[in-house]
Structure 1
Amino acid sequence: MPCEIVDVGEIADSFREEIVAAIKKEDLNFGPKLVGFLSNSDPTAKTYSALTAQSCLAVGIHYELRHVDKEDLEEKIVEANEDNSVHGIIVYYPVFNSRQDQYLQNVLSAKKDVEGLCHKYIYNMYHNVRFLDEGKEIKSIIPCTPLAIVKILEHIAAYNRLLPYGNRLHGRVITVINRSEVVGRPLAALLANDGAKVFSVDINDVQEFHRGTGLQFSTHEAKNTSYKMTDVLPFSDVVISGVPSANFKVPTELLKDGVIAINFSGSNNFGDDVKHRASFYAPAIGKITIAMLQRNLIRLYQNYRDDE
C-alpha cells in the first residue's frame, strides 16, 4: 500500500471556511482580536507566530504580536485579560522552561485562553468533561495542537464512526513520543478518553493511558510500565512524535506496516524511509494547529460575549 502524505492544508482550509462563516454570522465586522506574547528567541515560536499572523489576516482576524521581556510577561498578560478589545491570548512557550510556565498558563483568563491551557480547561480535558454548562450547549476549549492531531486522525478515518461518539478509537494502539504538559500528556489523555490504548513515551519511562472502568469509565487512567519505546512501537497502529531535537529519529525498522505516522516537532522526527512503512504520514501539522487556535478564538467570543 503506497503511503499517503496527509494534506494538512486541505484539512485546515475546511476549518477556515467555518471560521469565516462564523465571523460573518456573528457580524464581527471589526474582526476578533488575537494577541500573541513572545518572550523567547525560539525560532520555531517566531515561525509559528508569522504563520499565525498570515492565516489570521486571511480569515479576518486581527492578530497583534507583542514582544515582552519575560520578567514583565505576567503583568502584560493581566493587562490583556482586562482589555475588552482583546478576545484571545496566546503565549509562546517555553518562557522560563520551568514550573513558572505552568503558573503563567493560569494567569491567563479562561475567557481568553485560546490554547486551552489554563486549569479550568485542562481539568475538563483530563476528566473528559466536554461542556462548560449542564445543558451541554457550551463546549469547553481543547488545547490546539492535541486537537489538531485529533482532527487529522478523524480526517483519515482512524476514528471508527460506526462506534459511539467518545469511544471511536476503541481497539487502536497509539504511541505518543513526548509527555510535555502543553502537548504530549494532554494528547495522550484525549486519545485514551476516546477509547485508545496509548503509550506515552518520555525520556525516562513509558506510561500507559487507557479508559477507566466502573465509575471512572468516563475518563482515562495512567499507569507506569516496564516497557521501553522500542517495545511498544512494533504493535502501535499510530505513532505520534514531538521530540524537539534534530538528532532524534523514530526507528523506522520497528514500525509496523500500515502505521499512521504524525510529526508535531519543529524538527522532523521521522526519516524519509517512513514512507515505506506508513499508510498515512503527516510531517507537519502547523496549519491545522493555527486553524484550531482561530476556532477556539471564535468559540471564546461566543461563550463570553455577554460578559463584556
Structure 2
Amino acid sequence: MANERFITSELNAREENFEATLRPQVFADFPGQDRVKERLRIMVEASTNRGEALSHILLCGPPGLGKTTLANIIANARGSGIKSTSGPVIEKPGDLAGMLTGLNEGDILFIDEIHRLPIQIEEYLYSAMEDFVIDIMLEQGVGARSVRLNLPKFCLIGATTRQGKLSSPLRSRFTMTCRLDYYRVDELEKILTRSADVLNIAADTAGLHEIARRSRGTPRIANNLIRWVRDFAQVRRESIITGPVADQALTMLDIDKDGLDEMDNRIIEAILVKFRGRPVGLKSLAVAVGEEEGTIEDVYEPYLIQEGYLLRTPAGRVVTNKAEMRFGIKGIGGDVSEQPRQPELF
C-alpha cells in the first residue's frame, strides 16, 4: 500500500512538472484572451506604479483554459510571491489563517476551485479581503474568546469553473471578474507550436492544425493530445507529425474532425433516438448515456452548446438542426417551438 501511494505521488509530481513546463510565464507568451489580458495588464501596471497590493481578482470559466497560468503570470508581472491552494483543501479556519499570516506585503494567495470552500471558511475571508484582519475563535463555550490577527495587504485571486456557486457576499468582494472563453483554432495552433518547441516535438503546420481543431477550444486538451500524437508517431516510426498522422492518432481516440468524442456523440444520439428529439431532463439524460449529471453539465454540455449542437430550454435539453444534420436523423418529436413549455421534472 505504501509503495502504491509512493508511485501515485511520483506520477502526480511528474504531471505537475509537465504542466509547469508548458505554462507561459509572461503575458506575451499567453495566446488568446486578449481583452482579459489587457485588463489584467492595466491592473498590474497601476498597482506597481502606486506601490500597492493588487486588488482581488476572480477568474472564471470552463476547466483547462489557463486560470492557474494567468495567476502565475500576474504574480510574475507584479514581482510578487504567490501561494497556491484549492478550496477543498482548506478545511479549518486555522488552515486559512496559517496561509494568510505566511504572506508578505503585496503577495498573492491563489485559491483554485474557490466555489468549493466550506461556508465557515468563506466567512473568514470577508474581513481578510476588506480590512486585512482575521478573527480566530479560541476554545469554545464559556471560556471562548477571539484573537484578531492583522494581515499584510495581499491580493486574493480566486479561480472557479462555477461562478454561480459562489455566495453573493464573497463574489462582491472581488474588484475584477474575468471570464475566460474557449480558444479559436488559430490561438490553439500558437499554443501547440510553443508546446512542440518546449517538448522537442517535430510537427508541421497541418499536423498542429489537425490537433488544434479537435481540442474543444481548450489548451489543456490540446497539450494532452499533442503528447498522445507524439507517442503514436513514435510507435509508427513517423519522423514528423503531419496532418494524416494526427488524423489517424486522434481517430484512434474516437475524436472526430469536429472535436467531438464518443460521449458527445452518445449524448446527441440519445436525445435524437431514445428521446425522439423531445426535450429531456439532465437526470434522464445522465441515466441514458451512463454518465454522472455533473460531468455532463460541466464537461460535455458547454462545448456542445458553444458549437451549436445542444440547447437548454425550460422544458429540458434539446438538439439543434445542426445535430440532426450531423447524424442524418430528424427528431421525431417535432420542432422545439411546438413542444409544451412545462417545468423540467428531472
TM bucket normalised to smaller: 0.3 to 0.5
Judging by fraction of residues, say which structure has more strand: 1
Instruction: Specify which structure has the higher proportion of helix.
Output: 2
TM-score (norm 1): 0.32
Structure with higher Rg: it is 2
**Higher RCO, 1 vs 2 (CA within 8 Å, ≥6 residues apart):** 1
